[in-house]
Amino acid sequence: MSARRKPGNWNPWLMFAGLAAATLLAYQPAWHGTLLWDDAQHLTAPHLRAVSGLAQIWFQIGATQQYYPIVHSTFWLEHRLWGDATLGYHLVNILFHAISAGLVALILRRLSVPGAVLAGFIFALHPVHVESVAWITELKNTMSGVFYLAALYVYLRFDDTRARRDYAGALALFALALLSKTVTATLPAGLLVVLWWKRGRLDWRRDVAPLALFFALGAAGGMTTAWVEHHFIGARGAEFNFTFIERCLIAGRAVWFYLATLVWPWNLSFVYPRWQISQGVWWQFLYPVTMLGVIAALWAFRGRSRAPLAALLFFGVTLGPALGFVNVYPFKFSFVADHFQYLASVSIIALVAALIARLPAPAFRPASVVVVATLGLLTWHQSHEYASAATLYRATIARNPAATLAHNNLAVELMNGTPDQVREGIAHARTALELQPDDVDARFNLAGGLTQVGDLEGALVQYQTVLAAVQVRPLERARMAALYRSLGKALTALGRPDEAIAKYRDALRIVPDSALTHTDLGVALSQLGRHDEALAEFAAAARFEPAVVDRHTNLGGALLQMGRLDDAIAAYRTAVTLAPADAEVYNDLGVALLTAGRPAEAIVQFESALRLNHAHAPARANLAKAHAMAKGK
């Protein structure tokens, strides 16, 4: 990052347009990519989609997967704009990433770093960022990156002007970055590195004191996220028990790993193998020791150039939250992930771009074109893996056969498919269990697959094994409720409704507003002829999910069975309003009207059903009955 005179004429808007076009093109294979791993948990849940949900997003910790209210407010708005269609989500991620790339170039130009625009294009098209850009969940990376880089740019302007408005602007942007993702808490430390690089020293009053408020905000945000990771997401347990020395071993190895993938971005993976860390293995100390040696050598070299040391320090400081000293849930599967180095990569990319810019003029342009084109092609190729969840998990397993997360997630995807795919999903769940016998997710998935192929006894054994395990180490509330509900469904299918009812009630004690559990409980109660109780459960399900058609048809069926015909008709009319293109609900309403002795009105409903589905046999038979009843009157 050594200084050089800025080039003369340039158009920043043209640069941003070029970056946006190049980024959109490189990521085209992922434009319509399906939901991945925890996307469903990050996108706006049904109970948060009303205007009142915004208040919960901002003021109720635990209402969303992580407390990043700016990101979740954006997801809320996106759902209003394009619902569940993934194209809009992907394009927003891509454009935020392109804006960040443009900000990288602006920052480096402000610092008079050669190759600033080249650095922007490298950042935009580097394949290690595919995970951050093509994965909808990582809007928190791309959005926080824009705020982080904008705050850095404005603070550098404050460093020149000392204007209060610049300081306030940088602080506000930093707050927005923290509310998008708290890994950005490292900004003030990164700024100190940049200021040291600029001047060769740090002055307490000029450089350090103004950043005190930034450090305080960052610490508060970081502690909040660490608490949420521990209490709500599950970053605790045996997988996270390491000594301080072992955490240093993780950190030393991780820094080298990230440097290697930046320099040679090949064979990238959604889940990397999880290292076996032990302070009793001597060679593991080579990673931190050699890194300290490199830092010492670059310190000695600072008299000739501070740029290499500054780039490495910025890289390490910005990676800090992901180096193993703070527990984050993904460490359960791997200590490294491409998206962890999204912001940290800026300094190494800047250093490489500056070195390329020092090539003789005739060599600079072709070298730049080769680098950018190669990275763009690699990103385009990598983006294909994010076209669907199954494609991504298969690619991950090909590179990391021991990735239990990929085996489990692929099992879930396959179990929504054909019978052959369900059987393949069962095989992947069994593989995950072989790799990790205490993997609750794998056992859950195996039980679900066995249920689908009709092995109900085998499924029940798996669910009961999970239940026994969680008595020692309980799952989070939602997962415990899902376990009890799954047990209930298996027992219901085995014709043991009494036992099933007990499990459903256990689930509702944990999550009382689950419409699905209320519905399942209603079905089990109906099997025992306890129609009044079943009706109460169906009514609760309709109350908790008033926009779901099945809740009202279930309620209508229970009311019809009890002879409450007017109430049943009202429930079915609600269902018709919610699903005006569903022939089945018109048929249901017609049956209720026919039962109530109103054949003329029933005929209208049966005819509506047949207009929507000419081959609907029950509606045709019911229409004949209605006509016969009407003639008999």
Q: Where are the domains of the chain?
A: 18-43+84-386, 401-474, 564-633
What is the per-residue burial (b if ≥16 Cβ within 10 Å, else e) of 38-73? bbeebbbbeebeeeebbebbbeeeebbbbbbbbbbb
Q: Give mean pLDDT, residues 348-358.
A: 97
Q: What percent of the chain has pLDDT over 90?
A: 79
Hey, what amino acid is at 519? T
Hey, how many other C-beta atoms are within 10 angstroms of the C-beta on 621?
12
Q: What is the pLDDT of residue 235?
A: 64
pLDDT of residue 416: 86
- Measured CA to CA, the distance from residue 33 to residue 36 in angstroms comes to 9
Report the predicted TM-score, pTM, of the whole model to 2 decimal places: 0.83
- Judged against a pLDDT cut of 80, whether residue 476 lies above it is answered with no
Residues 6+ apart with CB under 8 A from 31: 87, 90, 91
For residues 22 and 124, the answer to whether their CB atoms sit within 8 Å is yes
Considering the domain 564-633, what is its CATH architecture?
Alpha Horseshoe (1.25)
pLDDT interval class at 290 (50, 70, 90): very high
In which band, very low, low, confident or very high, does the pLDDT at 541 lie, cut at 50, 70 and 90?
Answer: very high
pLDDT of 6 > 50? The answer is no
Going by the DSSP 8-state scheme, the letter that residue 619 receives in this structure is: H
What letters, b where the CB count within 10 A reaches 16 and e where it falls short, cover 560-581?
beeeebebbbbbbbbbbebbee
Among the residues of 327-388, which ranges form H helices? 345-357, 361-383
d(CA 8, CA 134): 35
Q: Which residues contact 625 (CB under 8 A, 6 or more apart)?
A: 594
Distance CA 115, CA 319 (A): 24
**What confidence tier does 307 reach under pLDDT thresholds 50, 70, 90?**
very high
**pLDDT given at position 227:** 79
Place 464 in a pLDDT band, splitting at 50, 70 and 90: confident
Q: Do domains 401-474 and 564-633 have the same CATH topology?
A: yes
Asked if pLDDT for residue 225 goes beyond 50, the answer is yes
Per-residue pLDDT tens digits for 361-399:
899 999 999 999 999 999 999 999 999 999 999 999 999
The rounded distance, in Å, linking the Cα atoms of 558 and 582 is 20
Q: What is the share, in percent, of the chain residues with pLDDT greater than 70? A: 96
Structure tokens at 71: 């990101």
Give the pLDDT confidence score for residue 474 in this predicted structure. 58
| Complete DSSP assignment for 8-30 | S---HHHHHHHHHHHHHHHTGGG
Q: Which of 517, 507, 516 lies closest to 481 in space, CA to CA?
A: 507
Question: How does the average pLDDT of the chain come out, rounded?
Answer: 92
| Mean pLDDT value across residues 216-224 | 90
Residue 2: what pLDDT?
42
Output the pLDDT for position 4. Answer: 43
pLDDT band at 229 (very low <50, low <70, confident <90, very high): confident
pLDDT of residue 473 exceeding 70: no
Length of the chain: 633
Single-letter amino acid, residue 184? T
What pLDDT band is residue 17 in, cutting at 50, 70 and 90?
very high
- At residue 150, φ and ψ (nearest 5 deg) are -65, -40
Q: How far is CA 194 from CA 15, 113, 207, in A?
A: 24, 12, 10
Structure tokens at 516: 């699905």
Any idea which residue has 């018109």 for tokens?
586
Sign of CA dihedral 116, 122, 128, 134: positive
Tokens, residue 544? 């908790």
User: SS3 for 575?
Assistant: helix
Residue 130: which H helix or E strand, with range? helix 130-134
Q: Is the per-residue pLDDT at 3 higher than 60?
A: no
Give the angle subtended at the CA of 395 by the CAs of 427 and 271, to the nearest 5°.
90
Question: Given this model, what pLDDT does residue 582 score?
Answer: 93
Q: Using the 8-state DSSP alphabet, how is residue 200 labeled?
A: S
pLDDT per position as a tens digit, 262-279: 999 999 999 999 999 999
Architecture of domain 401-474: Alpha Horseshoe (1.25)
pLDDT band per the 50, 70, 90 thresholds, residue 1: very low
Query: Which residue type, as a one-letter code, is found at position 554?
Result: N
Where does residue 597 fall: left (phi above 0), alpha (psi -120 to 50 degrees), or beta otherwise?
A: left
Q: Is the pLDDT of residue 599 over 70?
A: yes
Residue 326 contacts residue 233 (beta carbons within 8 Å): no
- Concatenated DSSP letters for 54-71? HHHHHH-TTSSSSS-HHH
* 463 — pLDDT class (breaks 50, 70, 90): confident
Give the span between the Cα atoms of 274 and 285, in whole angstroms: 17
**pLDDT tens per residue across span 481-535:** 888 898 898 898 888 999 999 999 999 998 898 999 999 999 999 989 999 999 9
R_g over Cα of the chain = 29
Q: Tens digits of per-residue pLDDT, 38-84?
A: 898 889 988 899 899 999 999 998 888 889 999 999 999 999 999 98
Q: What is the mean predicted confidence (pLDDT) over 342-352?
A: 98
